Chain A
Amino acid sequence: MKLRTIAFNNLRRRKAKVFFLITGLMIGVSAVVALMTTTRILAEDIAHKMDEFGANIIITPKSEGLSLTYGGLSLGGFSFDVKEIHQEELAKIKTIENAANIRIVSPKVFGVFESSNQKALAVGVDFNSELALKKWWKINGKSPESDSQVLLGHDVAAKLNLTKDSEVQIKDHTFQVSGILDPTGSQDDSLVFIRLPLAQKLFGKEGQVGMVEIAALCKNCPITELVAQLSRALPTAKVTAVQQVVEGRMDTLHNFQNFSLGVSALILFVGGMVVFVTMMSSVTERTREIGIFSAIGFRSAHIMKIILLEAVIVSLCAGIFGYATGIGVTWGLLSFLSEHRPHMSLDPYVAVGSVFLAIILGLIASFYPARAAAAMDPNEALRTL
């Protein structure tokens, strides 16, 4: 017979108490799992939505030139005459360590043209990337499908007196207006969008880009690290994080995490107290047995081992059931908290962590009762016979 036989048999005998212990700890663990998992999934969902919502990194050529704003955001040193970034260098973006976090790369080239005696700014873009980047765009018409079509910002269309399907002359090319943007409240309202290769050709900037907007998924990768990696990959360019966007996203995530950590700590404390009180009362009830164990030669360490072994067995069960229950609760919570059920991903670290957490909590909460049992005076214990 091993000490574990005593622990197992005692637990088998005290089914009601074991059920209460497991349930108490399980509620704590499942609440923590549900909170952490729900928060993580919601945070990922929000982060994903926010990551989809525009660029969070901007690459511009290194320049001492004039400052220009784009979309209300500072682009750093930028001048129409500055040396552009070579387009082939952009392939290096996909070679950085955290390349998997780069979701959208939208290169741009700028050029000024004159039409109806008014100067305007044309931007060459890759429409697939640009439309993916700017999901808030609403186009009256459609995006350009050929080199002979342009997309106009709301203000520039009004100033140049252009409507959908009308024609506009840029340099020596005539374009058809395929669509006009609804007002965005940004710099985009004043821009004429044409396809990137044609813009490069029109403005004599073949193989060059004036700016690159990047949307990066930055939840699991600090944006500053991405910026550093991009700077190393593109030494001739200036890589800037759009701080207000990044900080906003991080604040949201931190608030979620802080909330769930606070609530989890509280729930775990209550769970620990349930284990402590139950184990303490169990030790008191078992005074007689502990006296017998002591009298027949069990060391204090042997008695502690029995009590802690029981705590580990109970905590292990509570951890496993708690994780399963927590995931079930998360499933229900997500349908309640979110209109569309976000993708439910299971984190193996949470699974293993919840079992370990339960065991550690069980051990900590049982340590004092185990010590009290081990320190029990055998004669005092036997006097209760």
Chain B
Amino acid sequence: MSYIQVIQAGKDFGEGDARVTAVKQIDLSIEQGSFISIMGESGSGKSTLLAMLGGLLSPTRGQIVIEGIDLYSLTRTKLADFRREFMGFIFQSFQLVPYLNVLENVQLPLAVTHHSEEDQVRLALSALDKVGLKEKAHRLPNQISGGEQERVAIARAVVNEPPILFADEPTGNLDSRNSSEVMKLLTKLNSDGQTIVMVTHSRKNAEYAERIVEVADGRLIEPTPLRAAC
């Protein structure tokens, strides 16, 4: 059984005549420790698929099963706990909390765990060290560059060492040099055993993954294996 399974999942928005089908019916299996890129044009349904995979958007039909657990059979609270323990999110446009400094932003997922404050700081500094930003821990997000903000977002996503990392256009707002650094960082995390599911419209970035799937018109196009899993 695959680590992540998308079983005939689809998503409609709206009612009656206004109903729009964003994802028609998708079957997808993702193995533990793999790095998969989901590509597609704008409006193809790739972000909707990622939201469903991340427990953020309930599918209209079908199931999303992770570690044998049907995500959407969980209560709202259990689903929040599952996201906290199993998933890290890297959002488009960084999405750091502007009034928290870099260290506090990275600590955020730990704020609602059993970790003591000392542990939280230690783990957050360790995550920042991984992305090379330990020395900027006390700066506010608006006091660092866009590339650095993206790296802070990555540190926040991995601080509690979740098995799965979801990244939605992680380089969408970065120049090519910063994009390349971020992609190398994701590759490194994957090589350390993290399962990564990334949505991108950039073929170049998608090729950092070992596998690319394309979504078009709400359907999955033949998966393309690129390289062997690490």
Contacts and interface: CB of A to CB of B under 8 A. Distances in A.
Interface of A: 1-3, 5-6, 9-10, 12-13, 288-289, 292-302, 378-379, 382, 385
Nearest to A14: B99
Given A9-B99, A295-B91, 4 more contacts: A3-B111, A297-B82, A299-B81, A385-B95
Contact of A300 (B80, B84, B117): B80
A38 to B, nearest CB: 41
Contacts of A2: 111, 117
Nearest to A13: B99
Contacts of A9: 99-100, 104
B8 interface: no
Contact of A385 (B85, B87, B92, B110): B92
A314 to B, nearest CB: 16
A385 B82 CA distance: 23
Nearest to A289: B97
Nearest to B92: A385
28 contacts: A1-B110, A1-B117, A1-B120, A3-B111, A5-B104, A6-B97, A9-B99, A9-B100, A9-B104, A13-B98, A292-B95, A292-B97, A293-B108, A294-B56, A295-B56, A296-B84, A296-B88, A296-B89, A296-B108, A297-B81, A297-B83, A297-B87, A298-B84, A299-B112, A300-B77, A300-B80, A382-B51, A385-B93
Contacts of A12: 99
B170 interface: no
B109 interface: yes
Given A1-B111, A3-B112, A289-B97, A297 B85 contact: yes
B104 A297 contact: no
Interface string B98-139: 111000100111111000010010000000000000000000
A13 B56 CA distance: 28
B107 A297 contact: no
A221 B100 CA distance: 56
Given A3-B111, A3-B112, A379-B57, A296 B83 contact: yes
B35 to A, nearest CB: 21
A23 to B, nearest CB: 21
Contacts of A5: 100, 104, 111
Label chain A's interface by main secondary structure: helix
A298 B97 CA distance: 14
Nearest to A296: B109
Given A1-B104, A302-B112, A379-B56, A297 B80 contact: yes
Contacts of B111: 1-3, 5-6, 298
B108 A1 contact: yes
Contact of B51 (A298, A300, A379): A379
Residue among A3, A9, A288, A297 with the most chain B CB within 10 A? A297
Contacts of A293: 108
A382 B156 CA distance: 17
A42 to B, nearest CB: 47
Contacts of B91: 292, 295, 382, 385
Contacts of A10: 99
B19 interface: no
B76 interface: yes
Given A292-B97, A379-B56, A385-B91, A297 B77 contact: no
B54 interface: yes
B100 A300 contact: no
A294 B76 CA distance: 10
A6 B84 CA distance: 18
A292 B97 CA distance: 8
Contacts of B110: 1
Residue among B54, B85, B88, B112 with the most chain A CB within 10 A? B112
Give me the 3 closest cross-chain CB pairs, A-B, nearest first. A297-B84, A13-B99, A379-B57
Contacts of B95: 288, 292, 385
A289 B99 CA distance: 11
A216 B72 CA distance: 73
B115 to A, nearest CB: 10
Contacts of B89: 295-296
Contacts of A294: 56, 80
Nearest to A299: B80
Contacts of A292: 91, 95, 97, 108
Contacts of A299: 76-77, 80-81, 112
